[in-house]
Amino acid sequence: MAQFSTKCLIIGSGPAGYTAAIYAARANLKPLLLEGPVPGGQLTTTTEVENFPGYPNGVMGPQLMEDLRSQAQRFDADLRTGLATAVDFAKRPLEVTVDGRDTVLAETVIIATGATARYLGLDDEQKYLGMGVSACATCDGFFYRNRTVAVVGGGDTACEEALYLATLAEKVYLIVRKPYLRASKVMQKRVLENPKIQILFNTNTLGLFGEEVVEGAHLVEHAGTDKEDKFDIAIDGFFLAIGHTPNTEIFKGSLDMDEAGFIKVKGSSTATSVPGVFAAGDVADPDYKQAVVAAGSGCRAALDAERFILENE
């Protein structure tokens, strides 16, 4: 077992975590960043990113994260492989256990552990991830202009994604496992009235097919009933819109969260319910889930942490 001390501990290595490290390091906080199980976060599984500022010709997701990581290293941020496995925010300094054995004592903690998109659990989802399968229409919809796509889900998020994709794609299937939409009435109306969107009620996805990229989906209607009907649809893109799960398990009981598990922050700041603990990126953002928004909140968290340290010296 080893013990380390730092003015600023950053947990997570997506756009929020690396940006927080850049700002904290430039403020001479000498931050220690735990990169977690997937350094770079969700963007490392993304192909081309075209909507992150500063890359006029687009950039591959892994390259974008490597650029952010290198920038943090340039300012001597201490980036370490490790997974936060427990926290004790009831004491000062704040205490975080790493990999179940080491301990970090920190004056401030920035949580940037992100959120994980929910998938159906099909093997084909991983097979075609980045090759037709996506959990972010805003991120990847541009690549499906004048093509045919499918969105899975029946809530507001799914309807929003279907409507967004309908502005780009030639046709959008909305695959809904229930016989109705769970979305708000206004969203239902917009989807039902959009001529580009075809809703497939009582329908589940059995699998996807295609040579190297998604070319279609195997579906079943009224599964397990005497009206069961299996059929295929030809699609170029398959979008999951069944929600995200924030990576906040180890913080339950220590921080205030909403019903879905997203960390609550105070007002326009990144401050959580515990003084000196800040949350940035998707872990505290149930709405936007965009890399540039996460990066901006990482900046804010670092500035909030710096201010907290100055005010409590």
Catalytic residue among 139, 282, 285, 304: 139
Told to judge if 88 belongs to the known catalytic residues of this protein, a careful annotator would answer no
In this structure, how many other beta carbons lie within 10 angstroms of the beta carbon of residue 23?
23
Say whether 140 is catalytic: yes
One of 136, 282, 285, 304 is an active-site residue; which one? Answer: 136
Strand 94-98 to strand 84-88: parallel, antiparallel, or no bridges (unpaired)? antiparallel
Radius of gyration over alpha carbons of the chain, in Å? 21
Coil, helix or strand for 264?
A: coil
Longest dimension (CA), the chain: 71
What lies within 8 Å, CB to CB, of 70 at 6+ separation is none
Q: Tokens 């500035």 — which residue?
A: 303
d(CA 243, CA 40): 21
Does residue 66 contact residue 44 with C-beta atoms inside 8 Å? no
Q: Which is catalytic among the residues 140, 236, 282, 285? A: 140
Return the sign of the alpha-carbon dihedral for residues 147, 150, 155, 157.
negative
Phi, psi of 199 (to 5 degrees): -90, 130
The question of whether 232 is a catalytic residue gets the answer: no
Residues labelled catalytic: 136, 139-140
